[in-house]
Amino acid sequence: MKIESSNLGFPRIGAEREWKRVLEDFWAGKTEEKDFLPAMKRIRLEHIKKQADAGVNRVPVGDFTLYDHVLDTAVMFGLIPERFQHREGPVSLNTYFSMARGAEGKAACEMTKWFNTNYHYIVPEWGEAEPVLTENKPLTAWREAKEELGIEGKPVLLGPYTFAKLSKGFKPADLPGVLKKLVPLYAKVLRELEDAGVEWVQVDEPALVLTHPHGEMEAVEEVYQELARSVSGVRIMLQTYFGSIEHYQDVARLPVAGIGLDFQAGREGNLHSLRRFGFPENKVMGVGILDGRNIWRGDLPQELDFLEGELRSLGACSGWWIQPSCSLIHVPVSVGKEEELPPVLKRALSFAEEKLEETTLLTRALCERKEMVEEGLQAARDALHGLARSELRTRPEVREAVRQVTELDTWRDTPYPERRRIQQERFRLPLFPTTTIGSLPQTREVRGARLKWRRGDWSDARYREFVKKEIADWIHIQEELDLDVLVHGEFERTDMVEYFGEKLDGFAFTRYGWVQSYGSRCVKPPILFGDVEFREAMTVEEVVYAQSLTSRPVKGMLTGPVTILNWSFVRDDLPRQEVARQVALALKAEVKALEAAGIGMIQMDEPALREGLPLKSEEQKTYLDWAISSFRLAVSGTVAETQVHTHMCYSDFHDILEAIREMDADVISIETSRSHGELIEAFETHTYDKGIGLGVYDIHSPRVPPVEEMAESVRRALRVLEPSLFWINPDCGLKTRTRDEVVPALRNMVEAARHLREEQ
């Protein structure tokens, strides 16, 4: 059996986020296309070379993108919505970026989360037009790597089933029809790859791990049968990830040359299937053994035992590709330059580059005599043991506090109808109260000030004064706009998780540990590696100051426990729900501090609640139970007069509306404007009986939405939601816009609220 090393995808952003800079300079008009494209090419080739230098045998090509690989696939198949007025032929950069980001008079395409990750993809839209092949992108990428570097890579292609599943514009029942239209295009792509001499293609089908109707497997089978009939030379590695394959027996039968399995997220399920049904002898197994979703080093000696013992005993196959469990776009690029981390922690970390080293080390351990790599294997284990023993990890008083939490502790004393009455009395808000979700423009000046302070050029006092001045300006602006409920603007925060992580015990921060979130936007997830404990008030000073400037309510703004978990890299030595409770108890202390300081409304954002939802339906209830109960635990100490808000980002809400009600928040705001009314549909079947606001405009675009457009979106919502419970707010993330964009947009929003009140 031949054993090789492989990789599924490499971070695009670069070790110093150079990709982001190149992209944003182009958008800002600072560079032209003729300089932009070569700059991107340099980055692309550098990444390929890095992987080959690390000793990876099967280096992916074509996984690189100028924005998002799903958008690339849609563009490759000519799925350009009408409004972008694309004629035939290659799709211009201008059209490509307009689809991603919107343009004057053209709404951007919908964007949503990639499976259960914090990566966002652009949702392909099927319209009237038939799909056509506009460009063979994987082939271009393969040729480039071969010509420029002499590297024969493994082209990566988003598989037809997953691509269709992620698209919109047709009814689920029409999926087989959509697949039929796609097959000839995929066949053409593959044939051209074959003609060029490509040996293997990685066809990504993560949708095969979802809970999906067995009937769909027939359509999948037809697709792959048809592809096998049209192409015989190029070999397909059918790559799954993010869990175990749902209908394993059917997938194992598909006429492909290899099947890639996830042995991290899907270890248990996949092993279960392998034990029952074995693995097809004539196929190569993609062994996704290094965790592509987390940043801990693998316990290599243990993994090696697993591979040589259990996995080998499960049956012969024609080869193994030792690889990460999924694309490495979900982890940062390199641990190497992190100089400020505690050494005991740093040693236990593995980012993309280190994961490739682990991959090739494991491969060598399997192929050569183990003694050759003994030292490397032992180093991995020592690093993990070192961290496990460190006193940074365990705080007995935290463990004890978590043990003492009861179900009763997670509920507020007063039921909602009673709270509503008391709060109406207290705040006396008009019908359709207007507010924003929390952040306000983080201008160059704001970021510059923080940088000066972090570098030590500015004293704490000077920085604080600066933040206060910004708060005061914006309180003034919000009053002048006549918003009903104000926010302090979050100027002191770089990021909504990092900010809290830095002030709580148990977290560590990297300098360069960025991960792509959407487009050029990157996030730097904290590392939650030890028991979490509240140290001192984290938000009180800024919020109390803002409140002191106005008689209107100012919301205290916190990030919820589930989001802190889902947007951090979390220790894997404790159950997630236990870590969530630790975080909830720490936040509970902050909620108490805000309330004690006279803050009457507290918003605890849970934008990432939905993305933590397990992909398999049978695991979802357990997750929702502990996640929702952690949220409630964090806010349950409040008195009835305190209005608890929460906020969630767009996503498919159909399956979690019930759980959202269980959050028992007095008001929820949901980012929605980019889901074009789909959320509203969800409320047709589920009544919602607490305060609610659905974002009335998309903040991802610089465009200022007209009054009537926003009013109309509210009218649509009011067909399914109770007017007396309805709030008016934009989507989240105003921090990414400029003052000149935000002020006129909010002015129009307040105006829309006025119109709507008159209509009632």
> Which DSSP helix (H) or strand (E) runs through 203?
strand 200-204
- Taking the complex as a whole, the smallest distance from the CB of residue 715 to ligand GLN amounts, in Å, to 24
- Provide the 10 A C-beta neighbour count for residue 379: 14
Rule CB under 5 A: which of 586-625 touch Zn ion?
607
Of 26-34, 59-67, 118-126, 436-444: span binding ligand GLN (CB under 6 A):
436-444
Q: Which stretch binds Zn ion (CB under 5 A): 210-218, 641-649, 677-685, 734-742?
A: 641-649
The smaller minimum CB distance to ligand GLN, of residues 322 and 732, is found at 732
Show contacts with Zn ion in window 646-705 (CB under 5 A).
649, 671
How far, in Å, CA of 64 to CA of 43, rounded?
Answer: 9
Q: How far is the CB of 74 from ligand GLN (least distance, A)?
A: 25
Map the footprint of ligand GLN across residues 438-477, applying CB under 6 A: 438-439
Q: How far is the CB of 733 from ligand GLN (least distance, A)?
A: 4
Q: Which is nearer to Zn ion, 530 or 730 (CB)?
A: 730
Which of ligand GLN, Zn ion, none does residue 438 bind to, with CB < 5 to 8 Å depending on kind?
Answer: ligand GLN
Binding ligand GLN by CB under 6 A: which of 412, 588, 632, 647? 647
| Residue among 81 and 556 whose Cβ is closer to ligand GLN | 556
Q: Which residues pair with 7 in a beta bridge?
A: none
Q: Is 438 annotated as a binding residue?
A: yes
Q: Whole-angstrom distance between the N-terminal and C-terminal Cα of the chain?
A: 74
Residue with tokens 């509306």: 657
Torsion-angle region of residue 143: left (phi > 0), alpha (psi -120 to 50) or beta?
alpha
Distance CA 6, CA 258 (A): 13
Q: Token digits for 8?
A: 């599924």
558 binding Zn ion? (CB under 5 A):
no
Nearest residue (CB) to ligand GLN, 61 versus 696: 696
Which token pair is 517? Answer: 């979130």
Q: Which amino acid is at 701?
A: S
Judged by CB under 6 A, does residue 735 bind ligand GLN?
yes
The helices-and-strands tally (H runs, E runs) of the chain is 28, 22
**Binding-residue pattern over the window 502 to 531 for ligand GLN, x denoting contact by CB under 6 A:** ------------------------------
Phi and psi at 289, nearest 5°, equal -105, -25
Using the minimum distance from each CB to ligand GLN, give the nearer residue, 217 or 497. 497
Binding span for ligand GLN by CB under 6 A among 291-299, 435-443, 716-724, 739-747? 435-443
Distance of closest approach, residue 11 Cβ to Zn ion, in angstroms:
24
Angle between helices 444-455 and 460-481 (to 10 degrees): 160
Long-range contacts, stretch 570-573, CB < 8 angstroms, 24+ apart:
570/294, 570/528, 571/296, 571/393, 571/528, 571/529, 571/530, 572/294, 572/296, 573/388, 573/393
Q: Is 645 a catalytic residue?
A: no
Neighbour tally for 169: CB within 10 Å? 14
Q: Is 17 annotated as a binding residue?
A: yes
Is residue 171 within 8 A of residue 78, CB to CB? The reply is no
Q: Give the C-alpha separation, 366 to 347, whole Å.
A: 24
Q: For strand 691-694 and strand 667-670, is the pairing parallel, antiparallel, or unpaired?
A: parallel
The residue (of 333 and 440) whose beta carbon lies closer to Zn ion is 440
CB of 439 to Zn ion, least distance (A): 10
User: What amino acid is encoded at 323 in this protein?
Assistant: Q
**Residue placing its CB nearer to ligand GLN in the complex, 216 or 666:** 666
Q: Is 497 in the site for Zn ion (CB under 5 A)?
A: no
Q: Site for ligand GLN (CB under 6 A): how many residues?
A: 13
371: Cβ–Cβ under 8 A, 6 or more apart, which residues? none
Residue 689, strand partner residues: none
Q: Which of 260, 513, 519, 607 binds ligand GLN (CB under 6 A)?
A: 607
Shortest approach of ligand GLN to residue 521 CB, angstroms? 11
Strands (E), 301-350: 319-324
Report, in Å, the least distance between residue 487 CB and ligand GLN: 8
Q: Is 47 one of the annotated binding-site residues?
A: no
644 binds ligand GLN (CB under 6 A): no
Closest CA to 74 of 99, 104, 98: 99
**Cβ 737 to ligand GLN, closest distance in Å?**
10
Task: Select the residue whose beta carbon is closest to Zn ion and give its number.
Answer: 732
Report the C-alpha gap between 168 and 178 in whole angstroms.
Answer: 11
Q: Does 514 appear as a known binding residue?
A: no
Q: Is 611 annotated as a binding residue?
A: yes
Would you say 20 is a known binding-site residue?
yes
DSSP string, 582-602: HHHHHHHHHHHHHHHTT--EE
Burial 7-34 (b: 16+ CB within 10 A, else e): bbbbbbbbbebebbebbeebeeeebeee
703 is in an annotated binding site: no
Give CA–CA dist 36/41, Å, rounded: 9
Question: If binding is defined by CB under 6 A, does position 733 make contact with ligand GLN?
Answer: yes
* CA separation for the pair 662, 416 (Å, rounded): 11
Instruction: Select the residue interacting with ligand GLN from 209, 732, 752, 756 (CB under 6 A).
Output: 732
Are 657 and 613 in contact by the 8 Å Cβ rule? The answer is no
Q: Does 605 bind ligand GLN (CB under 6 A)?
A: yes
286 is in an annotated binding site: no
Window 717 to 746, contacts with Zn ion (CB under 5 A):
732
Stretch that binds ligand GLN, among 83-91, 548-556, 580-588, 726-734 (CB under 6 A): 726-734
Q: Rounded to the nearest whole angstrom, what is the least distance from the CB of residue 437 to ligand GLN in the complex?
A: 3
Q: Is 82 annotated as a binding residue?
A: no
Query: Closest CB to ligand GLN among 138 and 600?
Result: 600
Interaction partner, residue 159 (Zn ion, ligand GLN, none; CB < 5-8 Å by kind): none
Structural contact between residues 686 and 653, judged by C-beta atoms closer than 8 angstroms: no
Interior angle at CA 446, CA 444 and CA 447, nearest 5:
65
Beta-carbon count within 10 A of 486 CB: 24
Cβ closer to ligand GLN: 205 or 605?
605
- Partner from Zn ion, ligand GLN, none contacting 288, C-beta within 5 to 8 A by type: none
Interface with Zn ion (CB under 5 A): 607, 649, 671, 732
Interface with ligand GLN (CB under 6 A): 437-439, 496, 557, 605, 607, 647, 649, 732-735
Residues annotated catalytic, as ranges: 700
**Which positions make up the binding site for Zn(2+)?**
647, 649, 671, 732
**Which positions make up the binding site for 5-methyltetrahydropteroyltri-L-glutamate?**
17-20, 113, 521-522, 567, 611
**Which positions make up the binding site for L-homocysteine?**
437-439, 490, 605
